[in-house]
A and B are shown apart, each in its own frame.
Chain A
Amino acid sequence: EVQLVESGGGLVQPGRSLRLSCTTSGFTFGEYPMTWVRQAPGKGLEWVGSIRTKPYGETIEYAASVKGRFTISRDDSKNIAYLQMNSLKTEDTAVYYCLRGRKNLDYWGQGTLVTVSS
């Protein structure tokens, strides 16, 4: 069974940093690109960024709203994807989901809430 479990969310002050993890199981992690998507309270879904697999150079793409502040990485030996979030703003408050895939997004994690507030 494919499982994705996010962790690392919480309350953080504006300007601070937070790192989210997405621990996976049930599939060959290294064969799949991974994507992060967020959902602000009461709002729709917004793509954050995606990381490709090793054969594709682990190329990373970011949404304009987070580029330069957020960094996505992966550890294929641990089957974990990461989202490092720096210089957080109040508008980054959202539930953050990790997803399997890049163009074909099939499985979602349960999400982790990040609240940016002073």
Chain B
Amino acid sequence: QSVLTQPPSASGTPGQRVTISCSGSSSNIGSNSVYWYQQLPGTAPKLLVYSNNQRPSGVPDRFSGSKSGTSASLAISGLRSEDEADYYCATWDDSLSGPLFGGGTKVTVL
């Protein structure tokens, strides 16, 4: 059971905005940067957002991250069929002395 809590699923129609939450605690999200990864079916995860709200080069600006206190969220605007994937939040945990991953959210485009 992950200490970072994500909803198991989220969905939307093409063009809609979908938001995924990630809830943690003071020892992880509350004191460290949050990362988001996208895992397309059958592939390795790929970095989508780093340092809470920064996008690596090549990631569309439809993806945006935010953080407040001990929670973070990823928003996907203008949802597209190719956005169907599992999304994971991650951050460093000071108690674990290691990175911690959320349980993942499966996004379905209806």
A residues sitting closer than 8 Å to B (CB atoms) are 35, 37, 44-47, 49-50, 61, 63, 97, 102-111
For A48, give the chain B residue with the smallest CB separation.
B98
Contact of A107 with B47 in the complex, beta carbons under 8 Å: yes
Give the number of residues in B that approach A within 8 Å (Cβ atoms): 25
- Mark interface residues in B91-106 (1 if CB within 8 Å of A CB, else 0): 0100011111111100
Contact with A along B46-83 (1 / 0, CB 8 A): 11001100001000000000000000000000000000
Interface residues of B (CB under 8 A from A): 2, 32-33, 35, 37, 43-47, 50-51, 56, 88, 90, 92, 96-104
Q: Are A46 and B47 in contact (CB under 8 A)?
A: no
Residues in A with CB closer than 8 Å to B45 are 45, 97, 108
> B residues within 8 A CB of A44?
2, 88, 101-104
Assess whether B99 is in contact with A106, with CB atoms less than 8 Å apart: no
